[in-house]
Structures are given as C-alpha cells and as structure tokens.
Amino acid sequence: MNTEIKKSTLNIVCEMKLALKKDMAAAIASGFMLFAAFMYFQPVSRLYQITEKESYVVDLATGFLFSFFIVVSYFTIKRLAEMRRFFKDAMDMSRMDFLTNVYNRRALFEILEMEYNKNKRFPDGIFCFVLFDIDNFKGINDCFGHAMGDTVLKETAKTVTATLRKTDICGRFGGDEFGIILPYTDIKRGVLVAEKIRENVGRMLFGPVRSRFNVTLSIGVVMLPMGEETDSVEKLVEQADKYLYLAKKNGRNRVSSPLG
C-alpha cells in the first residue's frame, strides 16, 4: 500500500492527539508563567498602593478576572474531554465495517502492514494471514434476497470473531471476502484455526424453517516469512488469494495452504 499517497487513519488520529497534548502543555506552561509573573509583580497590591485605599474598582476587576479564569478553565477541560471522546469515536467509525462490526479493508491493510514490518525487525515476528470468502454468496442473494445476504455476513463475522483469540484481527476485505491476521502463529497452527473457523461457520443454519441452508467457506492460509515471493504486503495478500482460489478450484468448502 502506498503510504505516501494514502495516509493511515491511525497516523492522522495520533497527530491530532499529539497536537492536543502540545496545546495542553503550552496552556499549562503559559498558566504557570502568568501565575509566577502575577506573584512577582503583585499587580493587585500595587493598585491598592496607588489608590491608597481598598478600591471597589480593584476588587471588581480582580473578581471578574478570577471568575473568568475559573469559567474558561472549566469549559476548556470539558471540551478537551469531549474532543478525546470524539477522536476515539471517529477513529472507530473510520476503521470498522458498519455491517459486520469487524475492521474494514483499509484498517486491515494498516494492521497487516504493521505486522509485516514487525516481522522484518524481529526474528520471532512470524504470523499467518488467512483469506476466505463465502461459497456461492451470489446465489444466496439471488434466492433469499440481500437482507438474508447481510444476515449471513453479520453472523459469519460474529462466529469467526468468537472463534479467534483476542489478539487476532478479523476484517472485511469487501463483499463476502474476509481477512484474518494471526500474530505469532506458524502455518500448521494457522491451518488448524482456519479449519475450526470453517467447521463453526458450517454449523450455522439460515433461512425459513422449511428451507434452511448453511454456508461453506473457501479459505487460503499463508505465513510470513515464506520466501522472497512475499517481499511486500501486497504480495502476501496475492499469495493468500492464490490459495483461496485453489481451495475453490478443488471443490470449495476447504482450506488450502502451502502444506497442501
């Protein structure tokens, strides 16, 4: 993925948070400097000395400035808290697929690229990438309607997420195609996880009582590192896609990988 053209959502939000932290630090530093200057020059005492008596105007000005400072500080802190919550919600919305509630394609590529770069830096940074789609999904839409197709996508994503570990990442590539990142997982374990996903999804039933149906998955599994042919994230996805279509070619409802 060309990171120079498409800036990662994660980076954008991190930059916004950093700018917010810098503004907060500048505000605190400025406040301390103003407070130190106020204590050093003691303007209120000087005003009292100039007027030679406790002036109502001095008390009024001091009270107004103090009240203004308290009110502004309160609403500033409140707005900062709201902005932090907004940043989190905006980041979640921009990175999640609204239908299936898993990561969207862009977020999945960002995480995949981070895992790929980590693999290059650390010798124990192996991971598996799993790519699968729902067999004959177009037929489901044609026979039962797109609402049923959406239900199949949502329930499939839910079942896959429940099967995975908390550290695993699932995302929707688009249509009926999904990708899974399995950190610190070798190819044998990756194939076992893929088989478990295929079995769990295959047990689900959809549709009206008299015309129940289940869905099957065709799955491709690859591991990094796996040679010079995976010298980029795009090549890794291409390898997984190759094994996915090999699973379809061999009859669907199966897992295909370099192991066979």
Q: What is the mean pLDDT of residues 55-64?
A: 63
User: 175: phi > 0 → left, psi -120 to 50 → alpha, else beta; which?
Assistant: left
Residue-range definition of the domain harbouring residue 80: 9-95
Report the alpha-carbon distance of residue 259 to residue 201 in Å, rounded: 23
Q: Where does the pLDDT of residue 3 fall: very low under 50, low under 70, confident under 90, or very high at 90 and above?
A: very low
* Nearest residue to 131 via CA among 255, 259, 229: 255
Quick one: 128 and 223 in the same domain? yes
Report the alpha-carbon distance of residue 19 to residue 14 in Å, rounded: 9
Single-letter residue type at 245: Y
Question: Is there a domain that residue 173 lies in?
Answer: yes
Burial 102-125 (b: 16+ CB within 10 A, else e): bbbeebbbbbbbebbeebeeeeeb
Report the alpha-carbon distance of residue 94 to residue 106 in Å, rounded: 9
Report the alpha-carbon distance of residue 132 to residue 115 in Å, rounded: 19
Q: Which pLDDT score, from 0 to 100, does residue 5 have?
A: 36
Q: Which pLDDT score, from 0 to 100, does residue 254 have?
A: 96
Structural domain ending residue among the three candidates 38, 70, 95:
95
Name the domain count of the chain.
Answer: 2
Q: Which pLDDT score, from 0 to 100, does residue 4 have?
A: 39
Is residue 161 scored above 80 in pLDDT? yes
Quick one: 120 and 220 in the same domain? yes
Question: Is there a domain that residue 2 lies in?
Answer: no
Q: pLDDT digits over 107-126, tens only? A: 999 899 988 888 877 767 78
Question: Is there a domain that residue 3 lies in?
Answer: no
Which residue did the predictor score with more confidence, 202 or 31?
A: 202
